[in-house]
């Protein structure tokens, strides 16, 4: 009789133990999967910054050399008191190309710290954006990814408020945007890296979002 009275309690205890073991196993499995996500190496900005610095310095050096050649030929011709057609051609081409390269160097230096410039260096053009949805937080940036007539557009906003409980609103200031034109940036892309496909960009954003989720979920599980 006592054993019969204890049976329901023993059964309940056994069920609780089984449930606890299953929950622990499930949590361990989820934790392992989340850690695997965090093991994936995401593209870093440092190599791209280094490449942009190298490119800007190369343009600066070659541009300065061309300007020096153009000015040198101009001074020699001016000293001789006459300009031949060849000298005029050399001066115009040297000054034109030199000035263009210096301008390109200036643009790269100016933009290499712009949000998501890692992607812009790979063949992306900047454009202004109005209101964009959906959005996601990537590092310290608010990022949106949309497709439009075969192009993939990424917009990044560095000034935003994600206060808990406060409804999200886009800031009045337009965010910086990046628009992919796959076959129209090859000249620029060749200098600093290959132009990525829309699939590659989508995968990149997906990786950032997955790792962001993994970190948040591990914090919830007390495994951060």
> How large a percentage of the chain has pLDDT more than 70?
43
> In the predicted model, what is the mean pLDDT of residues 130-155?
45
pLDDT of residue 52: 63
DSSP state letters, 37-73: HHHSPPPPHHHHHHHHHHHHHHHHHHHHHHHHHHHHH
* Cβ-contact 173, 159 below 8 angstroms: yes
**Residue range 167-221, pLDDT digits in tens:** 444 444 434 433 333 333 333 333 333 334 445 555 655 666 677 778 878 888 8
């Amino acid at each position: 009789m006592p054993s019969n009275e204890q049976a329901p309690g023993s059964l309940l205890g056994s069920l609780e133990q089984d449930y606890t073991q299953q929950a622990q196993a499930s949590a361990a499995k989820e934790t392992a999967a989340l850690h695997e996500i965090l093991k994936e190496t995401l593209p870093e900005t440092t190599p791209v910054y280094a490449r942009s610095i190298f490119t800007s310095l190369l343009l600066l050096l070659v541009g300065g050399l061309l300007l020096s050649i153009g000015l040198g030929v101009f001074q020699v011709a001016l000293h001789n008191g006459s300009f031949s057609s060849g000298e005029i051609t050399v001066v115009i081409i040297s000054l034109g190309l030199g000035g263009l390269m210096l301008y390109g160097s200036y643009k790269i230096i100016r933009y290499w710290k712009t949000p998501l410039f890692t992607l812009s260096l790979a063949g992306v053009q900047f454009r202004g954006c109005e209101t964009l949805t959906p959005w996601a937080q990537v590092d310290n940036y608010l990022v949106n990814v949309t497709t439009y007539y075969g192009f993939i557009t990424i917009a990044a906003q560095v000034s935003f408020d994600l206060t808990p409980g406060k409804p999200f609103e886009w800031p009045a200031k337009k965010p910086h945007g990046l628009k992919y034109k796959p076959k129209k940036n090859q000249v620029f892309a060749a200098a600093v890296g290959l132009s990525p496909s829309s699939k590659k960009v989508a995968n990149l954003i997906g990786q950032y979002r997955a790792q962001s989720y993994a970190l948040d979920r591990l914090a919830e599980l007390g495994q951060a």
